[in-house]
Amino acid sequence: MRWMWIDRVVELVAGERLVAVKNVSLAEDYLHEHFAEVRDEAGVVVRTALPVMPGALILEGMAQAAGILVGHAEGFAEKVILAKVTRARLDREALPGMTLRYTAELVQQSPQGASTKGRVELFDHGDADAGWVEIGQIDLIFSHLDQNMAGAEFPEHNFVFSESFRTLLRTSGIACDF
């Protein structure tokens, strides 16, 4: 079973763009083990330690959103795996009760893989008037596992887009018959 880091796909334009959301919930175990405090330039604590979603998991959320976009464009025929993070910038933390929105755009696609650009936005339910605020950008490269240049062979079934992904697609109203 894959650990899904997006809750729902809210928009999908085939071969162009996918938008997904992730609600950060205090019910998630990792938040009870990942605290961060904020210090100023002099090293003085200006905010006490609070549970925050690790940046690596935000990156994984974008990888799942962008990976679905790439896979969908190819009818989920390819085993799409994250190969390279070409650019990643996160300016702000995501705390419990906030919602992340990932917008992934397909930039290039070839038989060997694809590149995507991504924008990360945050909605703070405690400051709803601020609306969606951009907090980062994550650009990625995906490889098609069976087209790798080394010629290595992998299992025939598509283990990347597993039942967890298919459940997500179905709950998002996306046709899923593979």
Sheet holding 80-90, edge to edge: 8-13, 17-23, 98-110, 113-124, 132-144, 80-90
Contact string (CB under 8 A) for another protein, positions 123-152, x = contact: ------------------x-x---xxxxx-
Contact string (CB under 8 A) for another protein, positions 50-89, x = contact: ---------------------------------xx-x---
Taking alpha carbons only, the member of 33, 24, 46 closest to residue 125 is: 24
Q: How many residues bind another protein (CB under 8 A)?
A: 17
Residue 116 within binding range of another protein, rule CB under 8 A? no
- Residue 135 tokens read as 């907090």
Taking alpha carbons only, the member of 119, 3, 97, 120 closest to residue 50 is: 97
Least distance from another protein to the Cβ atom of residue 116, Å: 11
Question: Which residue type is seen at 113?
Answer: G
Nearer to another protein, 143 or 172 (CB): 143
Measured distance CA(119)–CA(97) in Å, rounded: 20
Q: Which of residues 94-113 bind another protein (CB under 8 A)?
A: 107-108, 110-113
Q: What are the residues binding another protein (CB under 8 A)?
A: 83-84, 86, 107-108, 110-113, 115, 141, 143, 147-151
